[in-house]
Amino acid sequence: MNEIYSRGVAGNLDWIELYNPTAAQVDLSSYRIYDIGGQSGTKPKKQFAAGAVIPAKGFYVIITDTADFVGDQSKFGLSQGGEMVWLEDGTGTVIDSVLFADMSSMEETYGRGPDGGAWSLLPVITRGSSNGSIVMNEIYSRGVPGNMDWIEVYNGVSAAVNISRYKIYDIGGQSGTKSKKLFPTGTVIPAKGFYVIITDTSDYVGDLSAFGLSSGGETVWLEDSLGNLIDTVAFGAMSTTQSWSRIPDGGAWQLVNTITRGTTNGTGTGVEDELEVPAAFMLAQNYPNPFNPSTTIRYALPQRSSVSLAVYNAIGQEVALLVRGEQEAGIHEVKFNASNLPTGVYFYRLTAGSFIQTRRLLLLK
């Protein structure tokens, strides 16, 4: 078991994610998962669907509190206050168990970080993908000689993570016109710690991937050593005394007046966290993308605006209206759950006053 979500609602019910750390796929058909009801024998254990397979280094999500399979009487809702769950293989041997913690927020999960590692509360929901314990946390694009452009990376879990061979890049690396910047071999971020990488100078022998960050804003991407995209952000313009930061660490992006390179960005609850109104309208790329079944969309409003945010299918039909109404200036984010939609390419459009921007997202089930 790799990630647990107990704050389910209609359309996004309680679930448990499994992770396969091996180099071969595993047939889950006869595996079972259960809470105290199944463990005590007061209800059947939930059996995985016939033919269920988890790929090598891959993930599989099982819904616990609804009857997914014909004749299934084993549905169990996960307690928001925490409880014990067990996983057993086809021989009836318990191969994993965990007493998960209270999830006080609908925006967090209880997961292993890194995947298969130590359990802790995670600030980012990553259902069906890497737990993304490593995220970009602060960006500075107004570098000068002696203090060049940089991106701070944050480890949100209670265990050290080796980020050797992770890659970070802008549109050049994303489009293939230049190489992606590799993190040095042996780079380890301590538990709840930070690592700063300089983007616009060649730090390493043979490194041809140096890229300067645009002071007017651009998009950057971060991927793990297997090539999986684990974070992306379209950051905005900033002055020489500002940075683009997650408040709190690993949380929502904000333009702030306090630069905290290599240290915590603060909690967002005190006077030391000086938030700035965005300088321009911006619609960021959803994250994660591709996604299944939920993803986060962020956008910036420099002034109070009448806002519409909608999702369309490939032939232009509206399939979801996420936001409609007046909103104050600032950074906003909204969750889009596509559990009722088929796999495919979709588009989301932000209309705010006279500003209109559309981006593409990809749902893979």
10-residue averages of pLDDT along the chain (365 residues)? 89 88 88 92 88 88 69 70 92 92 80 77 76 84 87 83 88 87 88 89 53 86 80 86 87 84 76 54 78 84 90 91 88 87 91 88 84
* Residue 7 to residue 83: CA distance in whole angstroms: 13
Q: Identify the burial level of 91 via C-beta atoms within 10 angstroms of its C-beta, where 0-12 means exposed, 13-18 middle and 19 or more buried.
A: exposed
167 and 262 within one domain:
yes
Is the residue at 127 inside a domain? no
The token duo for 252 is 């929502």
154 and 38 within one domain:
no
Is the residue at 320 inside a domain? yes
Write down which residue in 71, 101, 122 finishes a domain: 122
Report pLDDT for 205.
Answer: 43
Report pLDDT for 85.
Answer: 94
215 and 327 within one domain:
no
118 and 83 within one domain:
yes
Write down which residue in 96, 122, 148 finishes a domain: 122
Q: Which pTM value belongs to this model? A: 0.52
**Dihedral of CA 270/276/277/282: which sign?**
negative
262 and 150 within one domain:
yes
142 and 272 within one domain:
yes
291 and 252 within one domain:
no
Residue with tokens 């109104």: 277
Q: Say how many C-beta atoms besides its own lie within 10 A of residue 186's C-beta.
A: 8
189 and 243 within one domain:
yes
pLDDT in tens, 236-286: 888 899 999 988 788 778 888 889 999 998 865 444 444 456 667 888 777
Write down which residue in 78, 100, 122 finishes a domain: 122
Report pLDDT for 132.
Answer: 60
Nearest alpha carbon to residue 8 among 85, 91, 79, 88: 79
138 and 271 within one domain:
yes
160 and 114 within one domain:
no
Report pLDDT for 74.
Answer: 58
Q: Please report, for the domain that includes residue 354, its CATH number.
A: 2.60.40.2550
Q: Say how many C-beta atoms besides its own lie within 10 A of residue 275's C-beta.
A: 15
Is the residue at 297 inside a domain? yes
Q: Please report, for the domain that includes residue 222, its CATH number.
A: 2.60.40.1260
Q: Say how many C-beta atoms besides its own lie within 10 A of residue 357's C-beta.
A: 14
Q: Please report, for the domain that includes residue 19, its CATH number.
A: 2.60.40
Report pLDDT for 212.
Answer: 82
262 and 139 within one domain:
yes
Is the residue at 285 inside a domain? yes
> 3-state DSSP helix/strand/coil percent for the chain, to nearest 5?
5, 45, 55
Tell me, what amino acid is at 194?
Answer: F
**Residue-range definition of the domain harbouring residue 55:** 3-122
Counted domains in the chain: 3
161 and 294 within one domain:
no
